Amino acid sequence: MAMAELDQHPELDVLPEWPTETVAVLVTQDTESGAPHAIPVSWPVRAGDRRILISLRHNRGSLVRLRARPEVALVIVGGGDVALCARGTARVVREELQPDGEYAGVEITVTVIDDHRQGAFAVADGIRRTVLDPSELAALEHRVTELRELADP
């Protein structure tokens, strides 16, 4: 295979829809070395054709990293045959999401959507979590509702 062929990768023009309960993987860059850091992110919100909203906990390093280096990637593998990597820039749009203020609302403005679907198989379900603490589920649902409100201008 020629190098030019390897450089070609299918891209999507717009973000597809994915199930609410989708777990994605956010990749940020170390502030000094540029090394990638990947973390799971619960229930990303599609906020338009090229915009995604997520919640990030304040006591984790991802917020520090994306404030210093806003270039991020979000890998989404979800039901309905969604398999993509959304690359773009992130910024905090709300410092404290309710109900407890422990999470910040982050907007990813997507510049490239890599399409990772393959003709040989379809993604039926993505990563799923079992919630062990009902109060945490209620808090997550509240944060996602707030993110959806931010998505609608």
> What CATH number matches the domain at 9-151, 3.90.550.10, 2.30.110.10, 3.40.30.10, 2.60.40.3880?
2.30.110.10
Listed in sequence order, the residues at least 6 apart from 114 whose beta carbon sits closer than 8 Å to its beta carbon are 9, 10, 11, 12, 84, 85, 86, 87
CA–CA–CA angle 40, 126, 95 (5° rounding) = 35
Look at residue 65 in the predicted model and tell me its pLDDT.
96
Distance CA 96, CA 92 (A): 10
Phi-psi sector, 34: left (phi>0), alpha (psi -120 to 50), beta: left
Listed in sequence order, the residues at least 6 apart from 32 whose beta carbon sits closer than 8 Å to its beta carbon are none
Look at residue 142 in the predicted model and tell me its pLDDT.
95
Look at residue 8 in the predicted model and tell me its pLDDT.
72
Per-residue pLDDT of the chain (153 residues; tens, 9 = 90+): 454 555 677 999 999 999 999 999 999 999 889 899 999 999 999 999 999 999 999 998 999 999 999 999 999 999 999 999 999 999 999 999 999 999 999 999 999 999 998 888 889 888 888 889 999 999 999 999 999 999 986
Q: Where are the beta strands (DSSP E) in 102-150?
A: 103-115
Distances from the Cα of 76 to the Cαs of 60, 109, 150, in angstroms?
21, 15, 21
Domain boundaries, the chain: 9-151
Listed in sequence order, the residues at least 6 apart from 94 whose beta carbon sits closer than 8 Å to its beta carbon are 104, 105, 146, 150
Look at residue 1 in the predicted model and tell me its pLDDT.
45
Side-chain half-sphere CA neighbours of 25 within 13 A: 12
Instruction: Please identify which residue in the block is written with the tokens 């998505």.
Output: 151
Is this prediction's pTM over 0.85? yes
Whether residue 98 contacts residue 142, with contact meaning beta carbons closer than 8 Å, is answered with yes
